[in-house]
Amino acid sequence: MRHTEYGYVSPAENHCYRDLERWLADKKKRERRAKKHGAFSLDKNKEEAIMNFGEVLEELKRGNCVARKGWNGKGIFIKLKKGESLNTPNNRFNEVMTHDFIYIDTTGLRTNNPNAPMDRVPWLASQTDMLADDWVVVE
């Protein structure tokens, strides 16, 4: 028997307590790290859902706008634009995209840089974007 802060315990019990303390310490570290990087932020008393890229594609197909928490600029998002038929009104044959595509919208970018581009352009995901787990739905 060993004397610990929990009283006299056997070596096996001491090992269990030590593992429990490590787990609790790791959990606190993970919570602090998540809070520091904005993984859990309260917006109108609700927690934001953090998604992976597979979930992002489903949200885009539902018509939602999504963004990464890790993106430097605020007010930036991506959205899916549905393809159109070539038989559009006003004979816009040369202007129509017939397949769906994803675009990034920076028109609402909030920055101190007066030369920052404020555009809507087609977007292609980087490997970093595809492997990220910090995606959120934006309104």
The pair of structure tokens assigned to 117 is 């581009």
The residue written with tokens 């974007």 in the block is 129
> With 50 as the cut, is the pLDDT of residue 73 above it?
yes
pLDDT at 115: 85
Confidence of residue 40 (pLDDT cuts 50, 70, 90): very low
Instruction: Output helix, strand, coil percentages for the chain, rounded to the nearest 5.
Output: 35, 25, 40
pLDDT at position 127 is 95
pLDDT of residue 56: 94
Contacts of 116 (CB under 8 A, 6+ apart): 73, 106, 109
pLDDT tier, 91 (very low <50, low <70, confident <90, very high otherwise): low
pLDDT for the residue 97: 82
What value, to the nearest 5°, has the Cα angle with vertex 71 and ends 62 and 132?
65
Round to whole Å and give the CA distance between 110 and 117: 11
* pLDDT single digits (tens) 118-131: 889 999 999 999 99
| C-alpha neighbours within 13 Å on the C-beta side of residue 61 | 6
Nearest to 136, CA basis, from 48, 73, 62: 48
Model pLDDT, residue 63: 94
Separation of alpha carbons 122 and 90, rounded Å: 24
What percent of the chain clears pLDDT 70, i.e. is strictly above it? 73
Distance of CA 115 to the CA centre of its chain: 27
